[in-house]
Every structure is written in structure tokens, then in C-alpha cells.
Amino acid sequence: MTPEPELDLLLAGTVFFDLVFTGFPHQPQPGTEVWTEGMGSSPGGIANLAVAAARLGLRTAVASGFGDDLYADWLWSTLRDQERIDLSYSQRHHGAHTPVTVALSYDDDRAFVTHGHPWPVSTGEMLADPPRTRAVLVDLGDETVRAERWWRQAAADGALVFATAGWDPEQQWDPRILDELAGCHAFFPNAVEAMGYTRTDSVEAALSALSEHVPLAIVTQGRSGVSAIDRTTGERESVPAIPVAAIDTTGAGDVFAAAVVLGTLKGWPLRKRLAFAALCSALTVTQVGGSLAAPGWGDVADWWREQQAAADGGGSSQEIVDRYAFLTECLRGVETPKVRRAEATIARFSDAG
């Protein structure tokens, strides 16, 4: 008898120390200094996805390099001890320092400054013998990832492969990416990426084209919502976004992906999966700090109670309450612990608002 997978989601990639600045009075200009209203720090990179998945209850493991500096100590402790992420496939490297990203979040957009060095051991080497897992998520836009064996071995062992392709800064949208989807279960680019890779001029045409390559094709459209086709069930659905006052959009796509993985593993109908993922990504942008802005079940429960109370008082859209009526059942018996948010540098509190 084949043993049950020990993990729900296996991830590999770089963990960054993210320092996020918010509340800019204006965009920074060369030769000037700008004081911002808020700042927060959190694990970044692949940690965005790992924390999002773990907070939704998925048994999550990460293979990544870590240095031996104070930043690395904090990242390791936060992911392993606070977020309960399995780091047994990760490695610490003596004398190596942590890659750092500074994110500037303003005017519904972001800018990044990053410094780091390659680790002496690749994630592919760390996962030479990957554990059994129900799902993996990979970025096929990364040539190194495409060449790695571990995720294909996981697929051969029964894991569902969820794929992204990342942003192409040259906007060439190499169509060979679509050939790499062979063996993948799902692919979810944004609208620009989807139309670029498929050489189509509409989201609906791109979605239809992508569905020929993977069983589950999802195209995100920001404030316009999300559309998807699931060939395994014959469903085709579109769900609107939830309007919120966004503070920091860092990691929103990772939260969306984690929620899709959760819903797929639970066998939810497509519309329910998309609605839940849209909610989770909306909740995360109302907080600052990437990974530590990811919602847990407690945040979902709080939002649901607020919507029900507002609808009873005539202050909320009944359509939203009807759309999310499934949450009552989802939340039944689920632990709803509070989660920690981004901290100011690596101190005790954050003033990022």
C-alpha cells in the first residue's frame, strides 16, 4: 500500500528578508530623503507562499538556503517556530548572509531594491530525494526551476503541480513556457501574462487557450476579478474582486495561489475556490509586510462576522453575503488563532498602517 503523503505542499526557492516601507507622501527622487508613515519587516520570497499556505492549515515544507547572520536566525525562527513550516529540507550556510529586499509601496504600485548571492547548494540538490506531497508550486519563468528534477519527481509520485510563470520584464512572453506545462495540473498567470503567452487579445480567449495545456487554468485580473476553467469538472467561472482599501499588495498573488491549492485539495467547486482565493488575497492587501500579512482562518472568520452584521444592518451588500455563504460551513470546527503581523525592522511592534 502506498503511504499517505507527509505534506500537503512542498516549496523550493529563496527566502528574503523583506523590509517594506508604506505611507509615502510622494515618490522618492534622487538626491532627496523621504520620511514614510510606516515600515514592516517579514520573511519574503518563497516564504510569502509558505506562510499563506501554513496559515490556511496546509502542511507546508520549504527547501531554501539560509545564512548564519541575525537576519537568518530571525527568518528561521519565524518560519519554523511561529508559522510551523517544516524547514527540514532547508540548509544553513556558515559565513553566508541573508538576501535582503527593500520594498517601496506607494500609489497602488511597488518598487524593489534587492541584494543577495547564490547559495552554495541549490534547492534541486536539497530535494534530490523529495518527500511525498499532495501538491507543489513552481515558477516556470525561472530557467533553473524548469531544469530541476524534484518537482517532476513529485508529480510522478502523485503530487499536483501548480505553476506560475512570473513577470517577463522584456515582455517577450516566450510561448515555450506553455510546453513546460506538460504534467502540470494548474497554471495561473495574470491577464497580461496570459494574453502574452497565448498570443491572444482577450482574457476569455487566453483562458480557453491555456485550458488546452492544463486541467485547471486561472487568469487573475486584479480589481476586475478572476476567471478560470477546470477541465476535470467541466466548470467555467468568473468571480469579481472584493473592493478593499489596499495598503500593500506584496504577496497577494501568493496568498491567492495558496487558497487555490487548499480549495483544490479539498475538492471544492471551482466557483467556491475562486471566491475564497479572491477573499484571502483581498484581506492580505489591507495589511503590510508580504508574508506576515497573509490571513489565517481567524481573519476570515472576523471578516465573515463583519459582513453578516453589516448586511443585517443594511450596510453591506447582500450579494457579497450570498456569494460567501459557504464560509459558515468552512469555519465550522476550524481553529481560528490570531496571527502575527509584520514588525518594525526586527523589533517588537510595527507602526505600518
Under a CB-based contact definition with an 8 Å cutoff, are residues 284 and 242 in contact? no
Q: Contacts by 92-97 with C-beta closer than 8 Å and gap 24+?
A: 92/66, 92/67, 92/68, 93/65, 93/66, 93/67, 93/68, 93/119, 93/120, 93/121, 94/68, 95/68, 96/65, 96/67, 96/68, 96/120, 97/67, 97/69, 97/71, 97/72
The angle formed by the CA atoms of residues 275, 280 and 283, to the nearest 5 degrees, is: 125
Cβ atoms within 10 Å of 75's Cβ, excluding its own: 27
297 contacts: CB under 8 Å, gap ≥ 6 = 55, 56, 57, 331, 334, 335, 336, 337
Q: How far apart are CA 334 and CA 297, in angstroms?
A: 7
Q: Which helix (H) or strand (E) holds 9?
A: strand 7-12
Contacts of residue 103, defined as CB under 8 A and 6 or more positions apart, other chains included, come to: 18, 19, 20, 21, 44, 110, 111, 112, 248, 250, 290
In 3-state terms, what secondary structure has residue 139?
Answer: strand
> Would you state the cell numbers that stand for residue 156, as one nine-digit string?
510522478
Per-residue pLDDT of 218-239, as tens digits, reads 999 988 999 999 999 999 999 9
Q: pLDDT tens digit string along 64-86? A: 999 999 999 999 999 999 999 99
Whether residue 57 has pLDDT greater than 50:
yes
Q: What are phi and psi of 58, to 5 degrees?
A: -80, 135
pLDDT confidence band for 346 (50 / 70 / 90):
low
Provide Rg for the chain, Cα atoms: 20
Encode burial over 113-130: b for 16+ CB neighbours within 10 A, e otherwise.
eeebeebeebbbebbeeb
pLDDT for the residue 351: 39
| pLDDT > 80? residue 262 | yes
Instruction: Specify burial of residue 321 (Cβ count, 10 A radius: 0-12, 13-18, 19+).
Output: middle
Mean pLDDT in residue range 265-290? 92
pLDDT at 108: 67
Q: Which residues, in sequence order, are CB contacts of 330 under 8 Å at separation 6+?
A: 276, 300
Please report which confidence band the pLDDT of residue 107 belongs to, taking 50, 70 and 90 as the band edges.
low
Q: What is the pLDDT of residues 289-313, one digit of tens each?
A: 678 889 999 999 999 998 988 887 7
Cell of 271: 466557483
3-state secondary structure of 123: helix
